[in-house]
Amino acid sequence: MDASADVSTTVAVERGLSTAEVAERVRTGRTNAYVADTSRSVWTIVRANVFTLFNGIVFACFFVLFVLGRWQDALFGLAAFANSIIGCVQEFRAKAALDRLALLNAPRARVRREGAEAEIAPPDVVLDDILVLRAGDQVPADAVVVETRGLQIDESMLTGESDAVDKKPGDDALSGSIVVAGEGAARVSRVGADSYANRFAGEAKRFSLVASEVRTSVNRVLKWMSWIIGPVGLLVLNAQMMVAGGWVQAWENGGWVQAVVNTIAALTAMIPLGLVLITSITFAVGAAKLASRQVLVNELPAVEGLARVDIICLDKTGTLTGGDIAFDAIDRMPDGAGGGDEALAWFGAAPDANATARCLREPFPVEAPLHAVAYIPFSSARKWSAASFATGPEGTWVLGAPEMLFSDAATDAATGLGRTVTALASSGRRMLVLAHAASRISAEDVEAERLPEALTPVAVVTFREQVRPDAAETLAYFARQGVGIRVISGDNPRTVAAIARAVGLDVTDGFDARGLPEDDAELGEVLEQNIVFGRVTPEQKKRMVIALQARGHTVAMTGDGVNDALAIKTADLGIAMNSGAAATKAVARIVLLDGRFSHLPDVVAEGRQVIANIERVSMLFLNKTVYATVLAVLFGVLVLEFPFLPRQLSITDGLTIGIPAFFLALLPNTQRYVPGFLRRSLAFAIPAGSIIAVALTLYTLGAMQLGVSEPQLRTGSTIILAIVGIWVLTVLSRPITRFKALVIGGMFIALVAVFTVPVLTAFFQLVDPGEEAAWLVTIVTVLTIGAIEIVRFFHRRYVARSLAAA
């Protein structure tokens, strides 16, 4: 039974599947074709950005004014329209990046069918196909190795382990991994959505928005307003109908039209649409500035992220290092045999040389080609290779790990080899020993993969990973900023620790992740006490990020391999190198296009500018929301006619808030971020806005007592709000620089033009407020400005205390 089974397996491997077997698997859907669900549909994105409660209110008001023929009062709709477009474009860009996610980018797959090799597209691979694997191939589907001749596969992009893995029959070959040496055959075991790479992709493609305090705070304000706007709207509408003579009379005499217009003016003033718009614009400008520095922002609020980060988790390979190794040095033994350089040149030039051996080609060029009469290829399991030559250096030459060739003698300080190896061990460099035996290896030695006897060391060759030249400087910057560093890698902890020391981190030995606790609380404690971690699996990287977040940290994760993708996606801010896997770049919020670590301080600076400036301009917008809401409630309760037309509010919105806020939001600002953005903004906006609303109410009551006309009352209210608005802008812009003075001066000149140029006064229905009302306007304006100065005085001290406490 066993013998026949072995024979049938051999025949199947040699011949592969038949045409009928392939057709049967295609018919039953057991192919490698894989079409992943898109991250979010176009309709979902449009619905999330266009069909919102506030857009519904704004566009409904916009439509009503058009139906009533009052298009001049519908200017506020432009802000909502622009914000919806920017939001959709932003998420379409993120969706496009996720939809391009592809771990398997091999152009062709090589299979054995009907006893012959054929090249097919990876999706055409079927279950049980025999894959033919050669150096440079990418494995298109999960498979089990059935034949091998020195087969080595690089799984670093999947597992984080930078060493190539020697594969034997029965071992797994994971989809997405790369054949780096030797050749072999493997039987496909999992295809399509079940394969390792596509399962990784499926989890990574789940859509999530980057954590943004700015966006969260704005959404919180919108949520609060959604509860308020309905009742307040009914209150205002009732008051306006009563002012027009009551519901019945207003409907009969047409007074309901002005009542509706007044209500719309009150409602649209309450919605902080401009804050949403200026936030999106500020993020977009920040992303554009970073793009000019070779930093791609996949999701706009990510420019805020690094201003909040207090721990950065770094993958070693491809992040701190370039992912490649290079020849470092050679230490020759005093009594070593001659001809070692020629042997090293041959090992470096061998057709199946692995990445480490290929590093010998430049320092040891081939001068006279050697012919190997006997050769045992390198294996990562036994960690050595051997060759005997027809001419040239005599005997047998062996290149391998010190402990595999000389056992305990390699670390015995009493021997010359031991002293050299021990001295180099703490440096974290990779070491190979070139050894020599007087006799040639026999055919039996080759078959048994047996080391020759009486080996003597000739030289110790060291290799080092190429550390990114900007890594040390960047890490020093984060240390000065109080940002913690955690290096987490799939490599050996000692090697990772050595690289960490090379980039300036004060560490001794790395923590072996195989000893990490399963309990999340205990894991968080280990992460607080250690900096460097080795032998970390992809799942552990994700757990480590979650454990740090659970302890209150804002975590950034950088990497380039597929093994980093889940952790990068889970982190508050994911950063990928452009040289990394497509999966990693697609789920990262920020991609360093030229792979330069030194760009991260630029991202931090941009994030700080965004938050600090948006915090400043948010006080302008939230101040407007507060005074509009309080004003609507007061006028609704007192049954007063609303003192503005929508077009008149557009004057103050644009010239004292919207346009200057755009310039202020783009100014340089290096203020260090402290949580509590919304609380600090409201600490100014609530008292200041309430004062403005009360002032306008008092002016309206006073103007009514003076018997001023309705157009005069509205004009006076607009003047008060415009001047007070300019003053609030000045207060929040301090200290006043030349550029800020130009912006504020420009807005003031524009306001003067609106109130004096006939065409503009006619459009905005502005008239002379009258002599008596002018005195009232002046008194109310001066008192309001004085009260706002007092509010700002106490607000600045409140902010200083909160920043000091943080």
Domain ranges of the chain: 2-30+107-204, 42-99, 272-288+605-805, 330-453
Q: Under CATH, which number does the domain 2-30+107-204 receive? A: 2.70.150.10
CATH architecture of 330-453: 3-Layer(aba) Sandwich (3.40)
Reported as a single tens digit per residue, the pLDDT across 110-152 is 999 998 989 898 889 999 999 999 876 778 889 999 998 878 8
CATH class in words for 272-288+605-805:
mainly alpha
Distance between CA atoms of residues 278 and 210, nearest Å:
18
Cβ neighbours of 143 (radius 10 Å)? 27
Confidence of residue 381 (pLDDT cuts 50, 70, 90): low
Confidence of residue 349 (pLDDT cuts 50, 70, 90): confident
Q: Is 315 an active-site residue?
A: yes
CB 378 within 8 A of CB 348: no
Q: Is the pLDDT of residue 668 over 90?
A: no
Q: Spot the catalytic one: 315, 560, 564, 572.
A: 315
Distance between CA atoms of residues 665 and 274, nearest Å:
12
Position 126 scores a pLDDT of: 93
What is the mean pLDDT of the segment spanning 588-606? 80
Quickly list H helices, 42-103.
42-50, 53-67, 77-99
Expressed in angstroms, the distance from the first to the final Cα of the chain is 75
Q: Is the pLDDT of residue 660 over 80?
A: yes
Q: Is the pLDDT of residue 40 over 70?
A: no
Ramachandran angles phi, psi of 490, nearest 5°: -85, -5
Position 98 scores a pLDDT of: 47
Query: Which 8-state DSSP code applies to residue 607?
Result: H
CA distances from 230 to 74, 170, 417 (A): 20, 68, 84
Q: Is the pLDDT of residue 719 over 90?
A: yes
CB 429 within 8 A of CB 473: no
Strand 532-534 versus strand 511-512 pairing type:
parallel
Distance between CA atoms of residues 295 and 676, nearest Å:
28
Distance between CA atoms of residues 326 and 336, nearest Å:
24
Confidence of residue 104 (pLDDT cuts 50, 70, 90): very low
Domains 272-288+605-805 and 330-453 share a fold: no
- Please provide the size of the chain in residues: 806
What is the mean pLDDT of the segment spanning 350-360? 80
Reported as a single tens digit per residue, the pLDDT across 171-217 is 999 887 878 777 899 999 999 888 877 776 655 555 455 667 777 88
What is the mean pLDDT of the segment spanning 352-374? 85
Distance between CA atoms of residues 318 and 352, nearest Å:
24
Distance between CA atoms of residues 386 and 374, nearest Å:
8
Confidence of residue 1 (pLDDT cuts 50, 70, 90): very low
Q: Which residue has better confidence, 798 or 647?
A: 798
What is the mean pLDDT of the segment spanning 447-464? 88
Of 70, 67, 264, 79, nearest to 764 by C-alpha is: 70
Position 210 scores a pLDDT of: 61
> How many CA atoms, within 13 angstroms, populate the side-chain half-sphere of residue 535?
11
Structure tokens at 723: 């001047």
What is the mean pLDDT of the segment spanning 392-421? 86
What pTM, to 2 d.p., does this model score?
0.63
Confidence of residue 629 (pLDDT cuts 50, 70, 90): very high
What is the mean pLDDT of the segment spanning 512-525? 90
